[in-house]
Amino acid sequence: MSRTARVERTTAETKVLVELDLDGTGAADISTGVGFYDHMLHQIARHGGFDLTVQTVGDLEIDAHHTMEDTAIALGTALRQALGDKAGIRRYGSATIPMDEVLVRAAVDLSGRPYVVHDEPALAPYIGPVYPTSMTRHIWESLGHSALITLHVSVLRAARDGGHPDAHHVVETQFKAVSRALREAVSIDPRAAGTVPSTKGAL
């Protein structure tokens, strides 16, 4: 059974296309006009084991906010659609991921109930010329609410004692942790025999 989705989202501010295959190989074709964001979406594909296409054209002459937000909304919508009725999935996933001096924990529940908790230290305001670090939380919120999932992302360690966080490392480790948690949560549980992992009988 194919677990794929194609989502097109068009507003006066952005035009977004997302194609997602949950049972892919990590292949990615990403273009949002925000270089570091493209790099982060590649992490989702590679470490999530998803095939992912993202093509976004946004009003970058204003700033990156609409481009990043609407892409996250479309990606969350694609995740929700690709999961279908969620029969046979593990539902829960978690990962604790190091990247040099940074350590991040992510936990996800494909619950059908959107709730996002994000803990991150103060970072430099930008990574590269156009990625505002204040948007990372909003990306998780936009993705979590459109996918209807519970998502917790916590930066456990951001720098060496007495040092300043490297914003690139802190944000990239979050994306890798979320990707690995999602990979576990969407995976098929051979013991579930096609049943929905909830005492309610539905998610």
> pLDDT tens digit string along 97-116?
999 999 999 999 999 999 99
40 pLDDT above the threshold of 90: yes
Q: In which band, very low, low, confident or very high, does the pLDDT at 149 lie, cut at 50, 70 and 90? A: very high
Q: Is residue 112 part of a domain?
A: yes
Percent of the chain with pLDDT over 90: 93
Q: Is residue 131 part of a domain?
A: yes
Indicate the angle between helix axes 35-48 and 65-83, nearest 10 degrees. 20
HSE-CB of 117 using CA atoms within 13 angstroms: 9
What pLDDT score does 147 carry? 98
Q: What is the tally of structural domains in the chain?
A: 1
Residue 125 main-chain phi, psi, to 5 deg: -65, -25
- Element spanning 198, H or E: none
Q: Is residue 140 part of a domain?
A: yes
For residue 36, which of 98, 118, 125 has the smallest C-alpha distance? 125
d(CA 40, CA 18) in angstroms, rounded, equals 15
What pLDDT score does 193 carry? 82
**Choice between 202 and 58, residue whose per-residue pLDDT is larger:** 58
d(CA 106, CA 154) in angstroms, rounded, equals 6
Q: Is residue 194 part of a domain?
A: no
91 pLDDT above the threshold of 80: yes
Q: What is the mean pLDDT of residues 129-135?
A: 96
What pLDDT score does 6 carry? 98
Q: Is residue 40 part of a domain?
A: yes
Q: With contact defined as beta carbons under 8 Å apart, do 100 and 74 qualify?
A: no
Q: Is residue 198 part of a domain?
A: no
Owning domain of residue 107: 4-186
Q: In which band, very low, low, confident or very high, does the pLDDT at 197 lie, cut at 50, 70 and 90? A: confident
1 pLDDT above the threshold of 80: no
d(CA 41, CA 45) in angstroms, rounded, equals 7
What pLDDT score does 39 carry? 98
Q: Is residue 193 part of a domain?
A: no
> For the chain, what is the total number of helices (H) and then of strands (E)?
4, 10
CATH number, position 97: 3.30.230.40
Strand (E) positions, 66-179? Answer: 92-99, 102-109, 115-119, 126-127, 131-132, 150-157
